[in-house]
Copies of this chain bind each other. A is one copy, B any other.
Amino acid sequence: MDTRDLLTIGEVAHRSGFPPSALRYYEREGLLHTTRTSGGQRRYERSVLRRLAFIRAARTLGVGLDEVREGLDQLPDGRTPNKADWSRLSRSWRGRLDEQIQALVALRDGLDSCIGCGCLSLQRCRLYNPGDRVADLGPGARLLPPMLRRTPAEGV
């Protein structure tokens, strides 16, 4: 609460790795809150860095901002969130992650059988019809993210 401890948007950007534009966006979207100077410039409490760590972790996992907001809203109102609070939030992702891994493994197994038969049959292929869920989500449904698409052999 000490004024000298407040951070400018540039400092937060530098420390968190999020560009200022993203910080402003997150604020508009209700994920962060800021105080302002008399002149209207943003000042961030140090705790925003932990919130941003959470946000980055969530985004890495592919959690949408809506859901991130829901998570953040569950943090205690008055007091600073403690380890247990953050831990509880993280734990809820563990299950999600497990599910996602399972889905991919199932897909891989299906792909193996497809490689064997070369079928890609509309009716039979498990890759085409990996399960009810995927199929139900329509043509645009994606099991995997943009970020891993590029790099099959880019690093070396």
On whether A120 and B57 interact (CB within 8 A), knowing A90-B114, A94-B112, A141-B147, the answer reads: yes
Question: Are A56 and B128 closer than 8 Å at their CB atoms?
Answer: yes
Which of these, B19, B122, B138, B144, contacts A145 with CB under 8 Å? B144
Say yes or no: is A62 at the interface (Cβ < 8 Å to chain B). Answer: yes
Say yes or no: is A60 at the interface (Cβ < 8 Å to chain B). Answer: yes
Say yes or no: is A64 at the interface (Cβ < 8 Å to chain B). Answer: yes
Question: Are A83 and B152 closer than 8 Å at their CB atoms?
Answer: no
Which of these, B100, B105, B140, B152, contacts A144 with CB under 8 Å? B100
Counting every copy of the chain, the complex holds 2
Residues of B within 8 A of A132 (CB): 155
> B-facing mask of A9-34, CB < 8 A → 1, else 0?
00000011111001000000000000
Task: Tell me the residues in window 107-132 of chain A with beta carbons closer than 8 Å to chain B beta carbons.
Answer: 107-108, 111-112, 114-122, 125, 127-128, 130, 132
Question: Are A117 and B149 closer than 8 Å at their CB atoms?
Answer: no
Binding site for B on A (CB under 8 A): 15-19, 22, 49-50, 52-54, 56-57, 59-64, 67, 82-87, 90-91, 93-101, 103-105, 107-108, 111-112, 114-122, 125, 127-128, 130, 132-135, 137-149, 151-152, 155
Question: Can you give 24 contacting A-B residue pairs, CB < 8 Å?
Answer: A16-B122, A18-B139, A22-B139, A53-B125, A57-B127, A59-B139, A60-B127, A60-B130, A61-B107, A61-B143, A62-B142, A62-B143, A62-B145, A83-B117, A84-B118, A86-B119, A87-B115, A90-B115, A90-B120, A90-B127, A94-B111, A96-B152, A97-B104, A144-B144
